Amino acid sequence: MNHLLVIISLSVFFLSSCNKNLDDGSSSFSKSIDLSIDPCDYISKQMIVCHFGLSSANLELTNDSNHASTFSQCGYSWGKTNHGEIQANQTYIMTAYASEGTNSNDDNIKELERSDLTHLELPSNHVIIGRFIKYNDYESAVIDFKTAHKSPSEEEFNKTPNTISEISDGLSHETDRRPIFTEVEGAGDLAFYDHKSKSLDVCYGTLSFSIFIETEFDIETNILIAKKLANEVWNKL
């Protein structure tokens, strides 16, 4: 009985300690980081090989780090196991859409909207890091990060002037373009999964960044791997 009480007490302690940083307005993650971050310095082939169990020879570098640090991205992509099948299907759909389905007997092709093309499955997996943002202090980081990851209601979203949204309206017929976020535990002080950009957005102290991950695994597995990668990136910074 005493042994059980000890286990319960320890469990409560660890659970409460997980949230104490947010409660007392402090963070255990503190580093002096230069904003001129090159994301390629903090992700490696070995990190991908370790988590996905594949040969480094199969990895292709994706490097878009020639812009301001907020927009810099770097990572790796590799073909899915059914790469050829997905690519063939993608080509078929794009070709059929270009001819407005007139040469296709597939009713699903005929009913395609332009927005559907952006949701086609990609033939390659990818893991990319980027979107590094530095905040003035921890309090600002928490407020801004939470605000940026609040899923607005349809009414709130439609009230917000959004040039990009208005342009999208003219290009597609998507019924819902609202960002959708799910809070995630186990990485940094705060973390959210962005279902639109398929990224795990994490905040460590006064720094936030994103792990863009899209693989043939399910979302839960992708998030689990992204959390591990986020902690590895933070340790490298």
Domain that holds residue 48: 33-80+124-152+169-237
Question: Distance between CA 177 and CA 154 in Å, rounded?
Answer: 9
| 113 and 66 co-located in one domain | no
How many structural domains does the chain have?
A: 2
Please report whether residue 23 resides in a domain: no
Residues pairing with 64 in the sheet = 73
Give which of 217, 219, 213 is closest to 201, Cα–Cα: 213
Say what the pTM is: 0.72
Task: Say which residue, 18 or 66, is predicted with more confidence.
Answer: 66
Phi-psi region of 148 (alpha: psi -120 to 50; beta: other; left: phi over 0): alpha
pLDDT at position 17 over 50: no
| 74 and 115 co-located in one domain | no
CATH of the domain at 183: 3.40.1000
Amino acid letter for position 77 = S
Please report whether residue 186 resides in a domain: yes
Mean pLDDT of 142-155: 87
| 230 and 138 co-located in one domain | yes
| 45 and 147 co-located in one domain | yes
Task: Say which residue, 167 or 88, is predicted with more confidence.
Answer: 88
Contact 162, 178 (CB under 8 A): no
| 173 and 233 co-located in one domain | yes
| 60 and 173 co-located in one domain | yes
Q: Is 175 helix (H, G, I), strand (E, B) or coil?
A: coil
Q: What is the pLDDT of residues 181-220, one digit of tens each?
A: 999 999 999 999 999 899 999 999 999 999 999 999 999 9
Contact 174, 115 (CB under 8 A): yes
Please report whether residue 190 resides in a domain: yes
| 201 and 213 co-located in one domain | yes
- Name the range with the highest mean pLDDT among 59-73, 108-122, 199-213: 199-213
pLDDT at position 154 over 70: no
Q: What angle do CA 64, 128, 167 make, to 5 degrees?
A: 70
| 91 and 200 co-located in one domain | no
| 98 and 37 co-located in one domain | no
pLDDT of residue 102: 47
pLDDT of residue 83: 63
Tell me the CA distances in angstroms from 60 to 117, 123, 128, one per residue in order: 24, 14, 11
pLDDT of residue 162: 46
